[in-house]
Amino acid sequence: MRIRYMKEAPRILADSPWVIADGRTYRGEWARSFDSRMEEICLEVGCGMGRFIGEMAARHPEQGWIGLERIGSVLARGVKRLEAAGEGEDRPNLRFLLGDAAELGEIFQEGELSRVYLNFSDPWPKERHAKRRLTAPTYLDIYRKILKEDGILQMKTDNEILFDFSLARLQEKGWQILRQSRDLHGSGILPDNVMTEYEEKFAKQGKQICFLQAAPRSLAKDS
């Protein structure tokens, strides 16, 4: 999908109280970035315009929620939507970052996150681009480090090729698959499911949504 450039995006992001300019300044102390100390910090990688993470923050005010998005124009539109609806003021536990998933190890300390969410990530369908997929081994190693030992990686996608790739890489890297379904909406496996913009669109088109939750092994067992 073509992303329209938003000229005022840098200003919107710079002026927003929910956008952290440099996540590295909070590495190991992310609870400090919120109005109150949070026992659990959750991250959505590729949050788009923030519909999913905004709703999760509203449902779980006791947890800190961080959305990472690499495209400034997309994130700025999400911030504008929050401002227009007045929703951001009701979500002191919500933060956004503009950046790339490859930088997560520099932004979060080992074991700092309770959950990592991957919602409808770019499938990078060509095999030569497989290393760019957010469930490629390089990224799984990053998630393992920044997740707590009892942390969870959750993924949703409409792309079965990406889903099969992800399952295979997770199993190769020793992750434990906790739950999975190739028909999330029909399975009832996630009764409190929060849909993203893409998910709602795909559901209306009758597409089945693939879903998984996985847990990393203890880092101590990797040596």
Rounded CA separation 40/147 (Å): 11
Rounded CA separation 174/120 (Å): 23
What are the tokens at 38? 């949070």
Q: Do the beta carbons of residue 113 and residue 107 sit within 8 Å? A: no
What are the tokens at 148? 């707590």
Cite the active site residues: 122
Q: Do the beta carbons of residue 217 and residue 174 sit within 8 Å? A: yes
65 burial type by CB count under 10 A (0-12 exposed, 13-18 middle, 19+ buried): buried
Within a 10 A sphere around the Cβ of 192, how many other Cβ atoms? Answer: 6
Q: Do the beta carbons of residue 133 and residue 162 sit within 8 Å? A: yes
| DSSP assigned state of 195 | -
What are the tokens at 71? 């495209």
What are the tokens at 53? 């993470």
